[in-house]
Structure 1
Amino acid sequence: MVARAQDRSYRSLSGLERTASTSRVLNLAAVASQNAGDPEYESAPFFKATSLNGAVIIKHRLRADEQYIFDQSKRISTKVIIPFERTDLGLGGRSLFVGQRGWQDLLYQLRGSQEDEARDIALLEALDELPSLDPFLLREHLKRRDFKIANCYFAISAADLERMQRFVSGEISKLVDLAYGGGKGGSPNANISKLVSLLLSGQDDARLEPLRLTLGLEGENFREGIFSWKGFLYYKWVLNSLWPELRQVIAELSEIKVVGPRDYEMLNQVKDVGARVNQAILGQVRKVRASLQVYDDAFGELTQAGNPMAFRNFLLKSPEMFITLGERTGMVSHIASFWRYRFPKGRPLRVELDELFDILQDFHQGLGEDDDHKAKTPGEAPEGELLDPASSEAIGRAVV
């Protein structure tokens, strides 16, 4: 249950009312508000049950006191919040976790209809398979599961998709020589464009057969490996775009000013949590980069050394690695997107102390700092990254 009260859960739900989806949040209530009357939205809804189609779906990092409702331990779960009133999330709502004991019985009570129940359950289970709710991966994953859903639910712009395609083209150009014979039967650029389109289409296609033969994979192993490969390429592209945004967050945390009453004990707690958040951000990005380096090394073996076995072995392991990579990228992506939502560019960087404490606490818990705190030495930036020299202490100084 999400009740209206003066706590972080209420403020978080209420705050979603004006924001769109992020890597951690799929805000179907906002999609409903923005696309009411759109024929495609009306003909291909996300969920068939009206109540679910106005829900807020969250990738939630489970706390210790929430583990007991699951039969097996989990780090991340998919939380479904059905608002009491979708036009006013501040009124709260009812919630459940996908996979908790008895969750389908709870869902039956909340849906309000038996029509297409099996389809909505299967869709929720498909969402739970993903490490995050990044719109590109969400769209690709649900295509593979044969769900017909309107494009308005996947808020990736045409410009972003074009940049993603250019990035992937640059990444896989050397592979074309191996799998498609370079310029044989067409120009190299045409072959690269063809392979990129096939990889990003989300559909099985016989034209991928040369790639399958090059990698020596069969059936489901090939399909799962290709999807996870797309995930690695997507997260590599995301990280390249995300770093400038994270650097801005770190810089703005050093500039933010507290307004209103000050409690000096809470002020010290904010400094402590802020410093931990900073280190946890850097630690998570290091781990994302380490995972991407595993991919780069395996791909290099394929394209530079002509050794397909290394990349084949990577693809066989990649579905499991992809989940962890997605969780970690989603953690830092959420921080960048939420910070910019709360503090738009050009607006004064001012906040009350208790709200800043809540924001940093949310970041701290979402980053999993307690699990992943043993990163490199404090203040050490990821290799190759040009952070401000004092960035490791920036958050700790935020409110002085």
Structure 2
Amino acid sequence: MKQKQAHKPYRSLVALNKTGSTTRVLNLAMVARTYGTTPEHSAQPFFRSLLLNRGIVLKHRLRADDAPLLSGRAGTATKVIIPFDPKNLGAGGASFLVGEKGWLDLVEELSDSDENFARDRSLLECLDGLPSFDPFLLREHLRRAGFRPADCYFAISANDRERMRRFVEVEIGKLIDLAYQGQRISDGSSGKLVEILLASDTDDRLEPLRLTLRLEGEAYREGIFSWKGFLYYKWVLADLMVTLKQVVVELGQLEISDSVNAEIRTFVAKSRARLQRTIQRRVRDVGLTLQTYDEAFARLTGAGDAVAFREFLLASPAMFLELGERVGMISHIASFWRYRFPPGTPLRAGADDILDLLQDFETGLAQPTLYLAA
């Protein structure tokens, strides 16, 4: 494994120790420190390997020096960091990329049995297939793949869960009326159905919904999962918009604090302007993709056109993955920028830090345009 020492403040393991999990970082070391003494943490671990289960998993933007490790792969990879001392992340750690040559040998070395090795390998491959680590979708994706780590591993606050539940309840109220036509669901509340929908896609109480959508078996499960993903991303984007608008403005105000030549100043100015335009374009791209959902859903609830929404659900898994990549990146930009520059602090940093930050943002946003339904 490659040795990783803590270095630049916002790149270091110490910084990860402060921020915890994000859309791009799954900080199991922090979870272990916070919940390590609880029964659920030991009864339902994320990884079976003790070392992996106190590590840090992150979505890593591949750079030129990564090319020999993952031949022919571009974009994002999944990196695993094993801290030398989970209580002192400043000591650095060792790392590997999922899929690099010899990575399975490393995972096997970290495992204490063939069964645990097979399980942790499958889980790492499952994580590698996700566009980001949005906690709600991470939990759903793992559950569908047969992995059920304890709730403490998913950093969704009780407040966020309640806010999302209220958002979804408003969003699908018309569908509930259409599917259930006045039937009582347990206590008769639409909120109860939303809780059932968010918790499961196989509950018998969802049968009227399945019949309304005219889907069967795996197509129904895949469609419901992707639908929940669209609802989640729609909620996330609405929640992000105020911060994103502030970030776009503040990008234009970012200043270099040390002495540099005119060439670097010109490059930073152009990069800031490009990022401002690209963030706005990506938000519009996400909005257009979400609009395909809105239009199909409106045809279902307004005109009773179940076929249009069924076709959307059948096509949604591919759209969902690309949407996740886009929303995950702009969410990362918003949260990381606000961490790096809290409200009221000077928008100034050293040239090296600024260049690294701008490059990371530009690389993440430089992806193909989203799939749009015809």
Provide the TM-score with structure 2 as the length reference. 0.89
1:320 to 318, 321, 334: 318
Segment drifting more, 56-65 vs 67-76: 67-76
- Name the counterpart of 2:58: 58
Q: Is the 8 A contact 1:19 1:30 kept in 2?
A: no
SS at match of 2:95: strand
Work out the CA distance in 2 between the residues paired with 1:211 and 1:300.
16
- Name the counterpart of 1:122: 122
Distance of aligned partners of 1:357 and 1:71 in 2 relative to their CA distance in 1, 3 Å threshold:
closer
- Name the counterpart of 1:113: 112
- Name the counterpart of 1:310: 308
Q: What's the CA shift for 1:150?
A: 2.1
Which amino acid in the other structure matches residue 77 of structure 1? A
Q: Pairwise mapping of residues 23-62 of structure 1 onto structure 2 (< 5 A)?
A: 23-62=23-62
1:231 to 229, 237, 242: 229
Q: Is the 8 A contact 1:180 1:191 kept in 2?
A: no
Q: Is the 8 A contact 2:185 2:205 kept in 1?
A: no
Q: Is the 8 A contact 1:179 1:210 kept in 2?
A: yes
Q: Pairwise mapping of residues 1-400 of structure 1 onto structure 2 (< 5 A)?
A: 1-4=2-5, 11-63=11-63, 66=66, 69-70=69-70, 73=73, 75-109=75-109, 111=110, 113-114=112-113, 116-181=116-181, 183-185=182-184, 190-368=188-366, 371=368
Work out the CA distance in 1 between the residues paired with 2:331 and 2:95.
24
Q: What's the CA shift for 1:151?
A: 1.7
Work out the CA distance in 1 between the residues paired with 2:6 and 2:12.
11
Consecutive unaligned residues in structure 2, runs of 5 or more: none
Q: What's the CA shift for 1:14?
A: 4.4
SS at match of 1:11: coil
Work out the CA distance in 2 between the residues paired with 1:148 and 1:195.
22
Work out the CA distance in 1 between the residues paired with 2:125 and 2:17.
25
Which amino acid in the other structure matches residue 324 of structure 2? G
Segment drifting more, 128-137 vs 221-230: 128-137
Distance of aligned partners of 1:17 and 1:303 in 2 relative to their CA distance in 1, 3 Å threshold:
same
SS at match of 2:138: helix
SS at match of 1:190: coil
Distance of aligned partners of 1:308 and 1:348 in 2 relative to their CA distance in 1, 3 Å threshold:
same
CA RMSD of superposed structures (Å): 2.6
Q: What's the CA shift for 1:6?
A: 6.1
Q: What's the CA shift for 1:175?
A: 0.7
Q: What's the CA shift for 1:155?
A: 1.0
Work out the CA distance in 1 between the residues paired with 2:6 and 2:233.
37
Work out the CA distance in 1 between the residues paired with 2:254 and 2:61.
27
Segment drifting more, 266-275 vs 99-108: 99-108
Q: What's the CA shift for 1:102?
A: 4.2
Which amino acid in the other structure matches residue 99 of structure 1? G
Distance of aligned partners of 1:144 and 1:91 in 2 relative to their CA distance in 1, 3 Å threshold:
same
Distance of aligned partners of 1:168 and 1:6 in 2 relative to their CA distance in 1, 3 Å threshold:
closer
Q: Is the 8 A contact 2:107 2:117 kept in 1?
A: no
SS at match of 1:344: coil
Work out the CA distance in 2 between the residues paired with 1:210 and 1:47.
37
Deviations 1:67-102 (A, max 9, x none): 565577454322212223333334433322223454
Q: What's the CA shift for 1:231?
A: 0.2
Q: What's the CA shift for 1:294?
A: 1.0
Provide the TM-score with structure 1 as the length reference. 0.84
